Chains A and B, each alone.
Chain A
């Protein structure tokens, strides 16, 4: 019932298209082949600007940093660097803080992906319904996380301060609860970082879902309500399946963004207490690039890249399997 996309609203044009499609089948196979090639060329022509940008600004620099990772480059003059083979890669695996960083990075990525998806989708559906103050709420949800993390990190530090004078602890104090060591307890600090990350990104992902909700044809809901489906049933049987591509996009962004996370934990906890909220990217910066060991930093970057490719490939396969099953 879902795959038939067009009738009333977007109906006029496709109806014509389907009619012409039948004529198309009559066209000779040879013509089709030539058209195929032409189409390939046309689509590649559209892709060229992006490919050029991507190769020049991202790919070539990344290939250079792969070269750096095999040298003792210190980040100043590459002419002075010596080839050291895989020594940098060996050095990485001896670093214990990196392992701690890997653990928290994975926890952060999984937790933020699950929580944000679980909150943003219902939020978007709600924001898509009519109610008083809807535009205001939409703006607020999107906007409160826009100031830079350097400012917001400071504000959150005061909110989650482990001192009795911190914002949350002041409120708790009035209820007779003694101060909670928010940012000074390893477990709570992890919780705080994830909580703030969810807070900061939920609005943007809800906005993304909101855009996709516009593409669900309204008659699907009309039909369903004529059939007597409740609102819950409509959400499960219409909204969710229609949102699978959107979820694929959102989850992909959350995964890749989560694995690369740096700003938030760094400004909020500097990776502490101890190594509780240390991230892989912080490792690249602190033990590599920031210490004049550009070779090691690059090696870390390359290893990290390979791990991410595997994780993201898995996610893509899972998403496309789900999409296939649903369509």
Chain B
């Protein structure tokens, strides 16, 4: 399973804007680089990243080979209700990773 690091507050006041940071380990091979044997290394990237708050999508991002290795994404969200923030990454070669964190909104 992919190595994921997510940084989101555990608690927040209702209506507060919280910053959510997500990092995942991935080579993000561009498909434009020759390898040691001179042949082009096939593309292997994460194409899609999405975040849901209690099942409602709050953020989606379509990535290209121009995203650095180990993609890091930071975005913000309004703390609406307590629950689960779930993250999902999908990409080439059937890559899929999921992660979730709990947040308590008071």
Do A and B originate from a single complex? no
Interface residues of B (CB under 8 A from A): none
